[in-house]
Structure 1
Amino acid sequence: MTLPFTLQQLRILKAIATEKNFTKAAEILYLSQPSLSKQIKTLEKNLDILLINRKGNKISLTENGKVFLQYSERILALCEESCRALIDLKNGDRGNLRVGASQTTGTYLMPQVLALFAQNYPQIGLKVQVNSTRLIAKSILAKEIDIAIVGGEIPNKLKKDLTVEDFVEDKLCLIIANSHFFAKREKIKKFNFIQIFIDFVLK
């Protein structure tokens, strides 16, 4: 279907409605007045309706012209919005980001990170997937998610195909009762810490 108008003709109609003067409308659009008048006549001919009342130096929109102007403004606004959206996509300011997280990270760290991200990039939609570190790594390789923050160790066979960067350090604390035999020690070695779990399992 061939449209009976061009975007330039819609801009011309809008300028005429605003300025109520052919000469001023032509100046705003950097057109000659004869060219502007010709475009309007072509538009009216293609639509087969009268858009503008011409009475000497006074011009006004007909009822048909007023209705068509409303749609013209909406069409022009949508065109501008679509252009801005494409520019945003090109610059990375719009779109969707698929984020993965391991169980603990997804529960305690991601809410703060995602809230800050959403505040700075409101145009980007977020989709979050929480799973084990191994499954999240597999999802990255399968291109099911774009980026992930995990707390567990990534298997070497998966890690070799991924780019992994340290994001934040986590602090683990050992909590014991005052009556525990470790309580009197100033330092506890990793071996001693592991021994606690071995003893617990054996019991």
Structure 2
Amino acid sequence: MSSLEEFLVFKDVASTGNITRTSQRLHMSQPSVSIQIQNLERDYGVQLLDRTNRGVTLTENGKILYRYVEEIIQLMMEAREAVSYASTCHHGGIHIGATFTIGEYLLPYLVREYCRSETDSDIDARIADTEVLAQEVMDRRLNVALIEGPVPNDPNFTVETFWHDELVVVVPVDHPWSERGTISFEELTTERLITREQGSGTRKVMELAFARNSFNYLDLSIRLELGSTQAIKQAVKCGMGIAIISALTVQEECLLNQLVTLRVKDCSFTRPLSILTHTKGHLTEDEQSFVALLRDGKKLQEIFPAPVVS
């Protein structure tokens, strides 16, 4: 009888097309990977993989088995998750992921509000990029993720918007543009731009907005990429350039008259903030209560800070 481990190895080898890569991904030796495949081929009495110097590919029999293996692994994951969910008590705690902007500037308000009525709940928050969180939801390592900007197009995901955010141009208070409310794209290309790194939700929204409005993103003079919004704000304050970041992240600096926000003419940077879950996932009771808070738009208006935009 074939084991789940053999199926997992077979699926990964079929996906990567490379036994060496699978051994690295699954932290197994190459001989162990080969043995698992050989065991499957012996059990089914057919050759499942064509082996060449460039890697491996599925035979016709291998393709047939692969379809069933995908379903078997999916069912096993669902069974494990269902049993785990059933074994929890009435609550089970909250294990939630959030992208950097949401995690640093909105999540504290959400947790504070939630804890006012649910003081005994354990909350574990994971802060990471959209791509990382989406993969963890897909792998069932995370039940709920709050993400910004474009969401993965996959039937396994359920996406629900809970709030909206806007990206704005941020300049120092002594910048020549500080008294203006808007600038043109052509003016923007004359300045040194500081941006978030590739893969961040903020970066994707900015690139898509320019493309949607027929502006060439490559015309911008990007001088610095940073993996932290806080670092970007400090760089702008130091006069290293200007930035396009979330209006939520510069509330304090605007109130303290340290930074000024502007908009780009004929270019909207509005983006949805979304709840990402797995279509076949199960939330603990605490997580369900937390998501219910996110769906209460009136309550969110009360607890979130009002945007400060020029």
TM-score range for the pair, normalised by the shorter chain length: 0.3 to 0.5
Which structure: greater strand fraction? Answer: 2
Which structure: greater helix fraction? Answer: 1
TM-score, normalization: structure 2?
0.29
Relative contact order higher in (CA < 8 Å, ≥ 6 apart): 2
TM-score, normalization: structure 1?
0.43
Higher radius of gyration, 1 or 2 = 1
